[in-house]
Structure 1
Amino acid sequence: MFEFFPGFDPATFEWNWTWWTTVAWSGRVLGIAFIPTVLLQRGTRPMAALAWILTLLAMPFIGAALWWIIGRNHMRRRKRRRSRAQARISRSFHDLARGSDDEAKIAADSPLSPLSAVSPARNLVLHDEHGIFPPTRDNLARPLPTSAVAFDAFEDAIRAAKDHIHFEFFIWREDHTGERFRDLLAERARAGVEVRILYDAIGSSSIRRQFIKPLLDAGASAAPFLPVRLLERRLRVNFRNHRKLLIIDGEVGFTGGVNIADDYLDWFDMAVELRGPVVYQLQEVFAEDWHFATGEDLAEERYFSGLSSHAPSGIATEAEDDPEGQTTSESAPEPEPRAIPTVARVVASGPDDTLDTIHKMFFLAITSATERLYLITPYFVPDSAIMAALQTASMRGVDVRIIVPQQSDVPITQHAGRSYWEGLLEVGVRIFEYRDRVLHAKLIVHDRDHVFMGSANMDIRSFRLNFEANCVLDSHPLNRQMCRLFLETQSRSTEIELDAHRTRPYRTRLLEGFARLLSPLL
């Protein structure tokens, strides 16, 4: 039984000091000692702070261990020293970005322009120190709607590499797919291409040195991101690099939700291939992560050769659609989506950024929607701000639809997410469970012109604890194409009805409530 003063008998007002009293008071002092750090780091989230304080007081030894392992929200990491070469690149890039803004303003004056509704992402004016890069024109985006299509595109790009390959993934497994890419990367390294591989130490914990050895022998460089060291003063096991980036020669880049493992061939996932100046931004994100993991600074012009003031050539593109058109039927997506011209920017965030940039981007997208907001996410655990934004968007008349998995690879997160459904269904948000297979894709289709793709999920971990990278794509034809994909996915899903949800079994609601209770501790 929990005692506020262990060893004290209130009936006799005497102390009964035993070995257990010593242990109990030691734990109490330990728990209390951690409370100031909880208040400093979770002061902006009172419910999370209260949950941690109660845990520290009720179970001090367990609570202190959990706080040391997973309690912190933010971390510091050293930044790259910008060399003269990088300074020149930055100046050129910002000149290009200013040109993009000027062009966007001119385009917005046209009544038929797809940019007539100003992108909510364009209003993100913070500089790239917070991971918010400026919008760039003259880009091409090619959606890769399945993992199989994405893997083939990755392979084609790697085979075509002439100078360097930068390969960064959260999960890389020792299976057939993992070996397939290992051998291909080793082959390119032997051909004289610089190959750098960055993988998360926890997400790719199955990777052994024996698996990496063929790459190292071929001349490639490989490093784990934030390996766990138990003797660290502050354990950083809770901060993971969830990004999925592949950059080839500074000219073509990939991002999305696809990891390098056999599982993803059976799951529903997607990625996007990018060409043009936005690849510079992906390269910049990789360079920061690589410097943190290895200390090597990639501030050389050769790694940013994709930065140019003209559109990429030699790639088949899709013609501009009627800007006044709108997808309303549940038509199937095109079997092989083509590259589409787009204004694009990268938004990256992580626990080293106290602004929680990805969270702010999602919040701005939801609150600025005027017509439709279609979301696909494998993990849906919104905080109070995102929850309120979704509710008010639907109450304003925005068509808000969310697709989540019926079968999830993380059941506790699925149960926590379902506990939020009633508050959304009550105000008209439509929720669907994808039933074909495990869903791992991440997508936001915003009004008629904007698409958000990348690694971030709609959950607290992506908002505050993981290193994430998303692309904001401003293109009416691309929006239409991804809307078709969303509606095709919806047709393979089961819609959740409010009345049926309210009558679910008591034990199910109890499990969901318990799972939701754990979310502030993340």
Structure 2
Amino acid sequence: MFEFFPGFDPATWQWEWTWWTTLSWSGRVLGIAFIPTVLLQRGTRPMAALAWILTLLAVPFIGVALWWLIGRNHLRRRKRRRSRAQARISRSFVNLAQPREPAASEVPDATENPLSPLSALSQARNLILHDEHGIFPPTRHNRATPLNSGPRAFDVFEEAIREAHHHIHFEFFIWRDDATGRRFRDLLAERARAGVEVRVLYDAIGSKGIRRAFLKPLIDAGARVASFLPVRLLERRLRVNFRNHRKLLIVDSRVGFTGGVNIADDYLEWFDMAVELKGPVVYQLQEVFAEDWHFATGEDLADERYFSGLSEYDSPDDETSQEDASDAVRDLPAIARVVSSGPDDTLNTIHKMFFLAITSASERFYLVTPYFVPDSAIMTALQTAAMRGVDVRIIVPQQSDVPVTQHAGRSYWEGLLEVGIRIFEYRDQVLHAKLIVHDRDHVFMGSANMDIRSFRLNFETNCVLESHPLNRQMCRLFLETQARSTEIQLAGHRARHYRTRLLEGVARLLSPLL
């Protein structure tokens, strides 16, 4: 019969068929072999587990490669070692921090703090030290100054660095070799040459454009520089998906900064925010940096030299003037705490913080976030808050630097608009700010976005600030931002083109793979 197919070689055909059959079955066996690992690491997230399993079965070789690169949470294998390091550092910090911390009677309890669920998590702790899940207790006698733009933040960063006498701890997700990046490199090098201890920690993926030549002037000046979770192709465990998204600057333990601002020219044009902190809460930022630095370099910073700059802010009457505070936006009194988390944290503390903030809101919950990809718990919390009568408003960018995340976020709008949540898209600039205004007394600022990556994959740091004047200022800023935004209407959203809905659906399907 083969004479009807000129040039057909049965032997070649049989060999190719055998080869493809072997390859196909090998792929299936390989994909099935990885399913137990997926169930062990993603079993608490059924949709994510199902997405990975389907990928492993449909395209096993690609699925295994993706799982190996971005799916595994191998950092949890290192959690025990990291936890021991944290415990050792924390024990050293106890003797340093305890004398400056108020007595237990001075720490606000659940009856004083409208965020009672958050207070309950650490009500029994009196030290400026976190537990194994990154939850610090609230501290009094702090001052907070919001920095509501990139240029403003850079100027204040520079002022603080120039005034440094003992040490500068500089940790950022993105640090670029551009005018802004060189500005801070040269400034840090100048202070290092002046005898100030300078430590720089940058994320290996977020700052992937950084080269040795860029860092050489800083290293030659005597600064210590390290990258967080560097990617080495020949390393047995590639660590691509778990990144240090924190933005921290601590100077002489006297002043600390956190927020969304990275060190790059983009942030001169984007709408972003940071917060300047003075007082005992700086100890908490210092400990977060110390643990990250120890993780990256092995150096232990639990030394009194790094915890000696707070005395000028330890005045007991800091909070007495809150109600009478003027509209000035510098050094606003605040009770403050740091909440940190990462992929080595099984509790997903940042996620729990957002959830508790939403469910404890009684009057208003205003959210500014550049990336909005909630899970079912956050969606339910937002919907039920609105149904309880809480004024829930969300501002996201109209123009995003990560389009797939923007499309995924828009797929959630209908379920939120239906219960009366107001959603706005900021139209003036790229929005990268992270802000929560909670009722009349609380503000949340930091590095975390309202998305799955911040909930589970990134190392993040946020600050919870209890301050009526700060809340008032941030509420005013939110309303000004809202005025420069376009409100999303339910009818118009439902009428969007089917291609748009399809694109949003595909983007949403990808989110569990994160």
Q: Same fold (TM over 0.5)?
A: yes
1:367 partnered with 2:359: yes
Q: In structure 2, which of residues 294, 303, 323 is the aligned counterpart of residue 321 of structure 1? A: 323
Q: Secondary structure at the match of 2:237?
A: coil
CA change 1:29–1:309 in 2 (3 A) is farther
Q: Give the Cα separation in 2 of the matches to 1:386 and 1:55.
A: 26
- List per-residue Cα deviations over 1:307-355 (Å, max 9, x = no partner): 5595369x9x9953369xxxxxxxxx97x72111111010000001111
Q: Distance in 2 between the 1:182 and 1:407 partners?
A: 30
Counterparts of 1:301-320 in structure 2 under 5 Å?
301-308=304-311, 311=314, 320=322
Conservation of the 8 A alpha-carbon contact between 1:173 and 1:204: yes
Superposition pairs for residues 2-151 of structure 1, below 5 Å? 18-73=18-73, 75-76=75-76, 77=78, 78-79=81-82, 81=85, 87=91, 89-91=93-95, 93-94=97-98, 99=103, 102-105=106-109, 115=112, 117=114, 119-125=116-122, 127-151=130-154
Give secondary structure in 2 for the equivalent of 1:31: helix
Instruction: Name 2:173's counterpart in structure 1.
Output: 170
Q: 1:410 to 1:298 in 2, by over 3 A?
A: same
* Equivalent in the alignment of 1:296: 299
Q: What is the TM-score of this pair, normalised by structure 2?
A: 0.91
Decide whether aligned partners of structure 1 residues 92 and 297 sit closer, same or farther in structure 2, where only a CA change above 3 A counts: closer
> Distance between the aligned counterparts of 1:509 and 1:310, measured in 2?
53
Cα separation, 1, equivalents of 2:388 and 2:103: 35
- Contact 1:100–1:135 (CA under 8 A) maintained in structure 2: no
Partner of 2:459, secondary structure, is strand
Instruction: Describe the SS at the equivalent of 2:207.
Output: coil
CA contact (8 A) 2:150 2:261 kept: yes
Match of 1:470, SS? Answer: strand
Q: What do residues 96-127 of structure 1 show as CA deviations (whole Å, max 9, x unaligned)?
A: 5562653525x96xxxxxx4635543222285
5+ residue gaps, structure 1: 1-14, 109-114, 324-332
CA RMSD of aligned residues (A): 2.5
2:108–2:138: 8 Å Cα contact kept in structure 1? no
Structure 1 residues 253-273: Cα deviation after superposition (integer angstroms, max 9, x where no partner)? 000000000000100000000
Alignment of 1:340-419 (within 5 A): 340-419=332-411
Structure 1 distance, partners of 2:479, 2:186, is 38
CA contact (8 A) 1:140 1:312 kept: no
Q: Check if 1:444 corresponds to 2:431.
A: no
Counterpart of 2:155 in structure 1 is 152
Instruction: Decide which structure has greater helix share.
Output: 2
1:460 aligns with 2:462: no
CA distance in 2, matches of 1:39, 1:389: 27
Q: Distance in 2 between matches of 1:404 and 1:150?
A: 21
Change in CA separation of 1:16 and 1:221 when aligned onto 2, cut-off 3 Å: closer
- Equivalent pair of 1:418/1:512 in contact (CA under 8 Å): yes
The whole-number CA distance in structure 2 between the counterparts of 1:73 and 1:83 is 22
Q: Which residue of 1 aligns with 2:200?
A: 197
Deviation string, structure 1 residues 122-158 (Cα, Å, up to 9, x no partner): 2222852211111110110100011111000000000
Distance in 1 between residues matched to 2:47 and 2:379, nearest whole Å: 16
Q: Is residue 392–residue 422 contact of structure 2 (8 Å, CA) maintained in 1? A: yes
What TM-score do the two structures reach when normalised by structure 1?
0.89
DSSP 3-state at the match of 1:130: coil
Contact 1:249 1:303 in 2 (8 A): yes
Distance 1:53 1:19 in 2: 25
SS at 1:212 equivalent: helix
* 2:187 pairs with 1:187: no
| Structure 2 equivalent of residue 507 of structure 1 | 499
Residue 12 of structure 2 corresponds to which residue in structure 1?
Answer: none
Distance 1:69 1:144, change over 3 A: same
Structure 1 residues 462-516: Cα deviation after superposition (integer angstroms, max 9, x where no partner)? 0000000000001111111111111110010010000000000110000000000
Cα offset, 1:236, TM superposition: 1.3
Indicate the residue corresponding to 1:216 in structure 2. 219
Q: State the partner residue of 1:482.
A: 474
Task: Name the CA shift for 1:196/1:469 in 2 (closer, same or farther; >3 Å).
Answer: same
Q: Which residue of 2 aligns with 1:5?
A: none
Aligned to 1:285: 288
Distance in 1 between the 2:284 and 2:192 partners? 24
Q: How many residues align?
A: 490
* 1:131 alignment partner, SS class: coil
Q: What's 2:11 paired with?
A: none
CA distance in 2, matches of 1:83, 1:362: 26
Partners of 1:454 and 1:118 in 2: CA distance: 18
CA deviation vs aligned residue, 1:342-371 (integer Å, no higher than 9, x gap): 110100000011110000000000000000
Matched residues in 1 for 2:390 and 2:24: separation?
55
1:260-301 CA-to-partner distances (Å, cap 9, x unmatched) read 000001000000000011000000000111111111111111
Shift of 1:94: 4.9
**Equivalence for 1:270:** 273
1:243 corresponds to 2:246: yes
CA distance in 2, matches of 1:92, 1:185: 27
The CA deviation at 1:22 is 1.1
Equivalent AA in structure 1 for residue 329 of structure 2: P
Task: For 1:255, give the aligned amino acid.
Answer: T
